[in-house]
Structure 1
Amino acid sequence: MRIFLAVRFLFALGLRVDAVRLLRATALAVALYAAAPLAALALRGLTDDVLAHRAGAALIAVVLAAVALVAQIMLGHFCHLDLVRVSDAQEMRLRGELTDLVNGPPRIDHLDRSEVADTVDLVRDNLLATTRSLEAVLQLAGLLVQMTVTIVLLGLASPLFAILPLCTVISVLLERTAQSTVENARERTAERLRLAKHLLELATSTGPVRELRLFGAEDEILHRQRAAWDEVTTAMWRAHLKAAVYRALGQGFFVLGYGGAVVLELYGALRGQASVGDLVLVITLAVQVSVQVSGALGVLSQLQVAGRTTDRIGQLRAVASATAEPSAGAGTAYAANVDGLSSRLTHGITLEDVSFTYPGAERPVLSGVSMHIPAGSTLALVGENGAGKSTLVKLLCGLYRPTSGRVLVDGHDLAGLDPTRWRSYVAALFQDFHHIELTLGESIGHGDIARASDTEAVTAAAGRARADRVLRTVPGGLNGYVGHSYADGTELSGGQWQTVALARTLMRQHPLLLILDEPAAALDPSAEHDLFERYASSARRENDGITVLISHRFSTVAMADLIAVLDHGQLTEYGTHHELMTARGLYAELFTLQARAYGS
């Protein structure tokens, strides 16, 4: 069933991407595989004609055999060329779909599930082999045609051979068992394989290598990488060994059946019950059947891998479908909420008893958080690492949906708003921002794809982020490359990369929600103070937008209109700097400790 689904999937996809080439390749494949048994038939005629001294008939048989053999070569070449083009188009289509399935859902919580990560990794690893399996589909179809013609000819030559295809049934069943053994082992080791790949990347990437060498951790990382890799390879080796035994048994059963039949046919020829030409035909066709069965088993194995990949793509589609949002026309309430969102906040953002638990986790990272953030205000989130600050920010951005409770934007439930539209009103600089190693202009411009090629907009964003020094550092300015991953570009310092990321964030004009998650960790306190002052006031002035700041520098935090203190996922304090200092709680304690440290 899985193989049938893979065949249907690949052929249907091939018709969608390039129907003309696929149909032409199909016709060529049928003709190609029908030529081999016809060549054997011509060889029988040639043998009998030569022995009977029929020169004219022998010449015709030679021409027919030559035409059949040349046709095999030529048709195979052109069929392969067409299939390569179709397979390339399929690969591009599937890679695009894989990207959409991973990134398409409006939330990102599905990416935190290990089974989804394993499935994505397995699909990515087998995608090329799967698309190349389209050729295997036509090979299977051609081999079936070829085997049918061969068996008919064998049956006409000797009725004994007509029942021997039953020998292939056991071979096919054992091949299926062999491939299932390998695929099951691959799925069991998928998580360990991802770990081995991650550790190898750590040990071979420029950034991590610096730290590993400094801390003397290279040997430990490599040891763990080898251990994980050995665990995977040992499990896969055992699976392949079992599969080889199954395949050997299947092939052995087939060889015994056909070998015995050929011996009987030879015995009959020696007794004069068959002509020499019949014997040549039978031996030639028997060899062809052996090759055909071996080829068919290999093709079935390849298609079984493709079938597993097809299943996994189906699983990712199900995940994407389960996490998809209803369309704007799916319900009147949803449509009304979309229409109610404007480019200016009037009331603000409210969290009502919000809790969130990561997939697979036993304890919630946020529990019962309730607060109101007025329009035009600035909010600072304070708490120890792991208190839930970054998770709360992702909930506000709409990247996660609360496990329970609601996030309201001007009274509208964020879960009911069009996530794409809401994200267009959000600008965020996350603590773990990405280094986009393209040209400096592209690295900044990705903050607003619609204006990414607008040099004036990119320059203005760089100016607002005060990235002048970075522009002077990079040869070619906005047209110069940054990083070394894809070009011989300029390597930036941590602070410079953060400035570029800030400029990227500021490409989005007049956001309703501006997130600054440790926005200036690589800058000095006065620079961060200046940064927050500029952009918090900017949001208030332009459209009553809200700025949310996460910072461990309390001199900056104190500037915020409101301060929320999170402790182990719960909101323990909420109010102005003055109110929290007066309350003499955790915030006052932390502020006083840091003030003393700077004072000393």
Structure 2
Amino acid sequence: MLGLSRLRDSFAYTPRTLALVWRSSKAASLALGLLTLAAAVLPLGVAYVGKAIMDAVVARDGRAALVWVSVELGLVAALSLVQRGLSLTRQLLGARLSIDIHALILGKALSLDLLHFEDPEFYDQLTRARREASSRPAAVVTESFSLVQNLITLAGYAALLVGFSGLAVLALVLAAVPATVAEARFSGAAFRLRNWRSPETRRLNYLEHVLANDGHAKEVKLFGLGPMFLERYKALSASFYREDKALAVRRAGWAFGLSLLATAAFYGCYGAMALGAAAGRLSLGEMVLYVASFRQGQQAFQAVLAGVGGMYEHNLYMSNLFQYLNIPTSAPAAALPAAAGADARASEGRGGAALPAGEAAPAPAGDAAAGERGVRFEGVGFRYAGQSRWALRDVDLHIPAGESLALVGHNGAGKTTFIKLLTRLYEPTEGRILLDGKDLRAWDPGALRRRIGVVFQDFNRYQLRLRENVGLGSVDHLEDEARIALAAARGGADEVVAAVPGGLDAQLGRWFKEGVELSGGQWQKIALARAFMREEADILVLDEPTAALDAEAEHAVFERFRSLARGRTTIVISHRFPTVRMADRILVLDGGRIVEEGTHDELVARGQRYARMFALQAEGYL
């Protein structure tokens, strides 16, 4: 049962892998199949011709011998050409497949939710899927075709050997089995070892990243962290080496010992054939044919069994890839009630249209609450997977269209989680969020996010040209020079454009040649400009993106922001109260709950949490 189970597991993912290969390159797949068939048949012809040459020599028929030698030359030349063709086809197919598999992995990553990327177990899965993704799918294909090739060749040699002795065929089969079983066991052990240490592999990669990345170089040098991290890297690498060495030594020892069985079987049959030829029961040509058939048949059978073992190992690794590709993603809009889906489609139709300054998007129709404009949180709670503490709880809130809202609270109070729920980077654990009276889950994600412009505190610093760093705020307008220039001016990045060599065409960052590194404040202006690229957005969110600016510069940014965003819904997170007090309404979050709300003057007058926070910050400026 164990053998049948292992055999079944050896080919569990082969059909899906072959389907990937066929989609990747039909022509190369067909060429591989035809060349494999030719490579399987030609060695049989060479072996038979070898017998004919020997018989002609024994008969002293020189002309026939030369004819057969010429035939063998043609067969060997054809076999060499086929083998070269196989090598080239495998190389090209492997390269094409590697590109497609990595694109598949990255495409899947794009479809996953933000929560996946905050889960260490997901990163282990991703590491396992990406590991050897370049080679394993191609290896499955190569091994599959080689298996067919060796089976055909083996069948031919077995048919030839039956003329000598059925026992020789039995010896051919049985002698190679123990080594193959052992190899399959070691393949499984190697797979389990690598899967088990996926978290440590990520740790090793992280240490390498810290030691060789510009983002860490300053602190690594300043605090003298290099030797410590390097020692950790060496120690972890050494532990991997010890584990791999122990497995490799055991594997090689067993392989050598068990391979002697196959060698003994060959020479036993060789001796019997030699005795038969000496006694006159076999012609010299037949002896040569049978010896070649046994030797080549034994190699073909060992290749078949090794191929099954290899397929077992390859399919174990392919299971990692397909398990990753099978990670469930959020339900699409079509899975929601029909009315909601219709509203989502209606909203999508207007999602990409630019809005005039100061004008918000119209509300979709078809629901009892559709007349309500703005954002509504109804009993919203959110808890991270595996956590008992709620990041947000019991949030009931209406943000009318066009209102300016500020969120304040200590770190970890739930402010950024609030924004991620609004932008549907997270789904609420309980309750629901509505935009213009419709559940966010009813909106097409693309249409929803086109209505929202966001700048997070940890915004990205793309190692691209300045114009691209701004233009990525609206990919559809990446080539719109006027729109990029206007967005840069609105975000205050026109000063950066004027200051750096090359202007909008300047390469930013130090990763590539002639790159210009910006200050923290300059990068933040680029990020703000990126948000202003989204002219159609009627909800604008700033999540502490100006933390690196001084208080005066931040105040100027928000003054500009408030002026440009007039008539749109704005949500601002900031620790600086001169900025916060500009908002129409302020929410104070603590422990994931709304504990206060009102205008700045109202909250100061109440003398509670907000007033204490304001007083403490005011003292810092005295």
TM range (shorter): over 0.9
Tell me if 1:210 matches 2:236: no
The aligned amino acid for 1:225 is: Y
CA distance in 1, matches of 2:231, 2:396: 47
1:29–1:373: structure 2 CA closer, same or farther, 3 Å change rule?
same
Question: What's 1:261 paired with?
Answer: 269
Tell me if 1:119 matches 2:142: no
Question: What's 1:540 paired with?
Answer: 566
SS at match of 2:77: helix
Residues 42 and 65 of structure 1 are in contact (CA less than 8 Å); yes or no, is this contact kept in structure 2? yes
Residues 160 and 261 of structure 1 are in contact (CA less than 8 Å); yes or no, is this contact kept in structure 2? no
Tell me if 1:311 matches 2:319: yes
TM-superposed deviation, 1:242: 4.5
Question: What's 2:284 paired with?
Answer: 276
Gaps of 5+ in 1: none
Residues 49 and 72 of structure 2 are in contact (CA less than 8 Å); yes or no, is this contact kept in structure 1? yes
SS at match of 1:327: helix
Instruction: Note the alpha carbon deviations across 1:454-503, whole angstroms, 9 max, x for none.
Output: 12211221111121232133332222211232333212222222222222
Out of 557, 571, 575, the residue aligned to residue 552 of structure 1 is 575
Instruction: Note the alpha carbon deviations across 1:530-566, whole angstroms, 9 max, x for none.
Output: 212222343332xxx3222222212211212222222
Tell me if 1:180 matches 2:188: yes
TM-superposed deviation, 1:294: 4.7
Tell me if 1:466 matches 2:472: no
Out of 40, 46, 58, the residue aligned to residue 39 of structure 1 is 46
Question: What's 1:129 paired with?
Answer: 135
CA distance in 2, matches of 1:566, 1:190: 38
1:365–1:486: structure 2 CA closer, same or farther, 3 Å change rule?
same
Question: What's 2:354 paired with?
Answer: none
TM-superposed deviation, 1:299: 4.0
CA distance in 1, matches of 2:471, 2:573: 24
Identity of aligned residues (%): 31
CA distance in 1, matches of 2:481, 2:504: 8
Instruction: Note the alpha carbon deviations across 1:156-211, whole angstroms, 9 max, x for none.
Output: 33322222224444443332222111111111001110111011101111220211
Residues 33 and 72 of structure 1 are in contact (CA less than 8 Å); yes or no, is this contact kept in structure 2? no
Normalising by structure 1, we get a TM-score of 0.92
The aligned amino acid for 1:590 is: M
1:240–1:356: structure 2 CA closer, same or farther, 3 Å change rule?
farther
1:365–1:9: structure 2 CA closer, same or farther, 3 Å change rule?
same
CA distance in 2, matches of 1:274, 1:117: 65
TM-superposed deviation, 1:522: 1.9
Tell me if 1:561 matches 2:569: no
CA distance in 2, matches of 1:188, 1:23: 38
The aligned amino acid for 1:67 is: G
1:65–1:243: structure 2 CA closer, same or farther, 3 Å change rule?
same
Tell me if 1:333 matches 2:356: no
Gaps of 5+ in 2: 1-7, 351-360, 364-371
CA distance in 1, matches of 2:162, 2:85: 32
1:196–1:408: structure 2 CA closer, same or farther, 3 Å change rule?
same
Residues 464 and 506 of structure 1 are in contact (CA less than 8 Å); yes or no, is this contact kept in structure 2? yes
1:357–1:289: structure 2 CA closer, same or farther, 3 Å change rule?
farther
Once the two structures are superposed, the pairs formed by residues 17-96 of structure 1 within 5 Å of their partners are: 17-96=24-103
Residues 383 and 565 of structure 1 are in contact (CA less than 8 Å); yes or no, is this contact kept in structure 2? yes
1:338–1:283: structure 2 CA closer, same or farther, 3 Å change rule?
same
Question: What's 2:109 paired with?
Answer: 102
Question: What's 1:8 paired with?
Answer: 15
Q: Which moved more, 1:283-292 or 1:21-30?
A: 283-292
CA distance in 2, matches of 1:466, 1:138: 61
Instruction: Note the alpha carbon deviations across 1:392-430, whole angstroms, 9 max, x for none.
Output: 211111111011121121221112222221111111111
Q: Which moved more, 1:442-451 or 1:304-313?
A: 304-313
CA distance in 2, matches of 1:271, 1:552: 102
The aligned amino acid for 1:3 is: S
SS at match of 2:25: helix
Out of 289, 295, 298, the residue aligned to residue 297 of structure 2 is 289
The aligned amino acid for 1:15 is: W
Instruction: Note the alpha carbon deviations across 1:9-56, whole angstroms, 9 max, x for none.
Output: 333223223222321221111102221232122112222321331212
Question: What's 1:385 paired with?
Answer: 411
TM-superposed deviation, 1:293: 4.2
The aligned amino acid for 1:219 is: P
TM-superposed deviation, 1:344: 4.1
CA distance in 1, matches of 2:310, 2:432: 49
The aligned amino acid for 2:65 is: A
Instruction: Note the alpha carbon deviations across 1:271-313, whole angstroms, 9 max, x for none.
Output: 4432332332233233323443454455445433432343223
Tell me if 1:156 matches 2:163: yes
Question: What's 2:530 paired with?
Answer: 504
Residues 588 and 594 of structure 2 are in contact (CA less than 8 Å); yes or no, is this contact kept in structure 1? yes
Once the two structures are superposed, the pairs formed by residues 445-594 of structure 1 within 5 Å of their partners are: 445-541=471-567, 545-594=568-617
1:15–1:404: structure 2 CA closer, same or farther, 3 Å change rule?
same
TM-superposed deviation, 1:241: 4.1
CA distance in 2, matches of 1:475, 1:392: 40
TM-superposed deviation, 1:340: 5.5
1:8–1:573: structure 2 CA closer, same or farther, 3 Å change rule?
same
SS at match of 2:376: strand
CA distance in 2, matches of 1:340, 1:326: 12
Normalising by structure 2, we get a TM-score of 0.89
Residues 427 and 511 of structure 1 are in contact (CA less than 8 Å); yes or no, is this contact kept in structure 2? yes
Question: What's 2:353 paired with?
Answer: none
TM-superposed deviation, 1:592: 0.7
Residues 32 and 71 of structure 1 are in contact (CA less than 8 Å); yes or no, is this contact kept in structure 2? no
1:215–1:23: structure 2 CA closer, same or farther, 3 Å change rule?
same
Out of 213, 227, 235, the residue aligned to residue 235 of structure 2 is 227
The aligned amino acid for 1:410 is: D
SS at match of 1:371: strand
CA distance in 2, matches of 1:282, 1:575: 96
Question: What's 2:357 paired with?
Answer: none
CA distance in 1, matches of 2:527, 2:379: 33
CA distance in 1, matches of 2:515, 2:323: 40
The aligned amino acid for 1:281 is: L
TM-superposed deviation, 1:437: 0.8
1:26–1:532: structure 2 CA closer, same or farther, 3 Å change rule?
same
Once the two structures are superposed, the pairs formed by residues 386-405 of structure 1 within 5 Å of their partners are: 386-405=412-431
Residues 328 and 418 of structure 1 are in contact (CA less than 8 Å); yes or no, is this contact kept in structure 2? no
SS at match of 2:555: helix
TM-superposed deviation, 1:448: 0.8
Residues 511 and 539 of structure 1 are in contact (CA less than 8 Å); yes or no, is this contact kept in structure 2? no
Question: What's 2:205 paired with?
Answer: 197
CA distance in 2, matches of 1:16, 1:87: 13
1:206–1:50: structure 2 CA closer, same or farther, 3 Å change rule?
same
